[in-house]
Structure 1
Amino acid sequence: MLCTDDVKRRLHFAARFESEKNMPQSTTELLGPDGPHLLEHRCETIDQSRLHLPGPDFLERVVCGTDRNQRVINQLARLFGHGRLGGTGYVSILPVDQGIEHSAGASFAPNPDYFDPENIVRLAIEGGCNAVASTLGVLGAVSRKYAHRIPFVVKINHNELLSYPNSYDQVMFGSVERAFDMGAGAVGATIYFGSPESRRQLVEVAEAFEHAHELGMATVLWCYLRNPAFKTDQDYHTSADLTGQANHLGVTLQADIIKQKLPTNNGGFNAIQFGKTSPLVYDELTTDHPIDLCRYQVANCYMGRAGLINSGGASSGASDLAEAVKTAVVNKRAGGTGLISGRKAFQRPMLEGVELLHRIQDVYLDKAISIA
């Protein structure tokens, strides 16, 4: 006898079958006119031979030569070995920490099921993710039931915007010890590089990451930029040169995986006329092609020794699938390690979220999509 969930699942897919007959199914169709521009591009800035590329042997080839202790390597092996991308060297992570900064209402009203932490973890499992990243409260609420089933990445600092007037600062919400006690495989944190509070955040995160490594947990750093001065003629919070430097600071803190937004422009250092750069960054190491811009981000992650995962961004509705697949193609062809996509997946019915996660993963499973 079929259980209720099985019946719902079959009815759901039966109902969607007719409506999706004419929807684009292949990656090429989803990319549309951008397909040739992204799939046929050859990177002539930083050659792929200089990179430490993802692959089934990435841990043995790269990580095992570091100062990480065996317990950290074991946790990274578990993370890289889990889910649909297990054993490929690529990762797909579901992050759901938006309820603190964006408010739970703004985050979960589109699908109230995700007010319940268990559904967040279930989405990551059914979506074939390598790991689920969320808050101490969310993962702690269901850790006894799920921590052995999928790697947990516990986010230990957050920016909350209930305080009025708003201020933008990452503050600690939990400890490394609590994450360790619940069986987490990794801790995550954010630094707002460029903000007045960034140096305090840097010290806090450096100490937390060192302690996490001592206990045998991996580390994931959200390397975000935050400063009103980064907006001049354009918004340079996602410029390749500034985000690249944020990545370089992140790997200096010994983050095992770097989370960064996909670059949308370049020349941030020149525009804000602050800090130091080199003309070679713009003349030889980058172009205006999105894959070349992302490759500069990878280069700043010690040429790929620390994996770069790009974020999927906010949900835009009907265009979410195409946007997510495009981001995955850019990340993979640039030499990145995967995608970390949350709102595009959880702000919709679970089965649709599962589908979207699978389509992202299909990009990394497709051997025809190679390094540029």
Structure 2
Amino acid sequence: MSKITELLGDKQEYYLEHVCTTIDKHLIHAPSPHFIDEVWVPSDRSIPVLNSLHALYQHGRLAGTGYLSILPVDQGIEHTAGASFAPNPLYFDPENIVRLAIEGGCNAVASTFGVLGSVARKYAHKIPFIVKINHNELLSFPNTYDQILFGTIDEAWNLGAVAVGATIYFGSPESRRQLIEIARAFEYAHQKGMATILWCYLRNPGFKKDDKDYHTAADLTGQANHLGVTIEADIIKQKLPENNGGFTALHFSKSDPRMYSLLSSDHPIDMCRYQVANCYMGRAGLINSGGESHGETDLQEAVITAVINKRAGGMGLISGRKAFQKPISEGVRLLNAIQDVYLDTSIKLA
């Protein structure tokens, strides 16, 4: 705990002593060593899907805790390979991506068909693979933002993946097509025995207003999560909320004043708990993204995000750029620092 409190600095009490008076912690299906038995066994998930979830939860430093630490590296497509790997060109070679996940003690590695397929026979039995099946490519000119399928569920299964991941840009003009595509893909993935993870991201220029960006508002991201669990995503990936009140500020959709008073507050743990609540009170695990790399502050930012996620009732972190855009030893240290938050039994639900 000493290293964690050192990184939190003068914000120790703010993050570690906060008591959530909005959504009571006893309502949350919090991660635990018995999460599959208590939450997923009564569901419609097949035995092969339960086996795949078990593989995720039983690997790496967090094995047996119910928490997840995942290394995602799909930025070679999402942000261009040159821009993503310029800080550390080693990661142009897919093997180094998988090596970082293994050496970093991660539960799984998430990447593209090409990355994982290129080293599948060497590593698919050594660390769980999560294949990201759709991407936003940045070579069309002028740039457009759409998630396009890059392969099939059968391909993911054939290269040994235990899970597939996908993104839906909720709020975008393309979101309805993406919703239909990914709902069908997830249904087939479950038939094949693989788990499903949905990147529930918002994208619409109208979500920015008066110099405030509501793409990370708790109410909008919470509803995106709720749409994600509706198509039976087993795990939801979401950005950490940075503000709230998007529905009221943008004057659209439907809201209730109690969303902002009884169900949430301006504290980041309470806003994250609202995200968890929209994942069926945590029945589908919430993993928050680690965000872009800012250099020297990466370690502190990653630990703060992990503390917020854990105390809110989340299931872990999926952190990429903060880990791979630096030397491997530093990336391993950052991933281990995140995992240490979830291994620390003194850090409990708020």
* TM beyond 0.5: yes
**2:103 pairs with one of 126, 140, 151:** 126
CA distance in 1, matches of 2:36, 2:57: 9
Q: What residue in structure 2 maps to residue 293 of structure 1?
A: 271
- Alpha-carbon displacement from aligned partner over 1:278-306 (angstroms, at most 9, x marks no partner): 11101210000000000000000000000
Q: SS where residue 41 of structure 2 aligns?
A: helix
One-letter amino acid of the counterpart of residue 37, structure 1: Y
Paired AA for residue 106 in structure 1: A
Tell me the CA shift for residue 72 of structure 1: 0.2
In structure 2, runs of 5+ residues without a counterpart are none
Matched, 1:112 2:89: yes
Structure 2 residue aligned with 1:332: 310
For residues 71-101 of structure 1, the C-alpha deviation after alignment (integer angstroms, 9 at most, x for no partner) is 0000000100000000000000000001102
Q: After TM superposition, list the pairs within 5 Å mapping 1:1-372 onto structure 2.
A: 26-233=3-210, 234-372=212-350
User: What is the CA-CA distance between 1:219 and the residue it aligns to?
Assistant: 0.2
Structure 1: distance between partners of 2:318 and 2:261: 30
What one-letter code is carried by the residue in structure 2 that aligns with 1:98? Q
CA shift, 1:277, in A, is: 1.0
Give the drift of 1:323. Answer: 0.2
Distance 1:327 1:51 in 2: 19
The aligned amino acid for 1:322 is Q
| Matched residues, number | 349
Shift of 1:352: 0.7
Give the whole-Å Cα distance in 2 for the aligned partners of 1:59 and 1:277. Answer: 33
RMSD: 0.8
For structure 1, list consecutive stretches of 5 or more residues without a partner in the other structure: 1-23
- Secondary structure of the corresponding residue to residue 62 of structure 1: helix
How far does the alpha carbon of each residue in 1:180-232 deviate from its partner, in whole angstroms, 9 at most, with x for none?
00110000000000000000000000000000000000000000000000000
The normalised TM-score by structure 1 is: 0.93
Post-superposition offset of 1:25: 6.4
- 1-structure distance, mates of 2:26, 2:195: 27
Q: Post-superposition shift, 1:361?
A: 0.1
Large movers: runs of 4+ above 3 Å: none
3-state SS in 2 of match to 1:305: coil
SS at match of 1:95: strand
CA–CA distance in structure 1, aligned partners of residues 19 and 83 of structure 2: 40
Identity of aligned residues (%): 71
Larger Rg: 1
- Residues 25 and 369 of structure 1: CA distance in aligned 2, closer, same or farther (over 3 Å): closer
Residues of 1 paired with 2:97 and 2:193: CA distance? 25
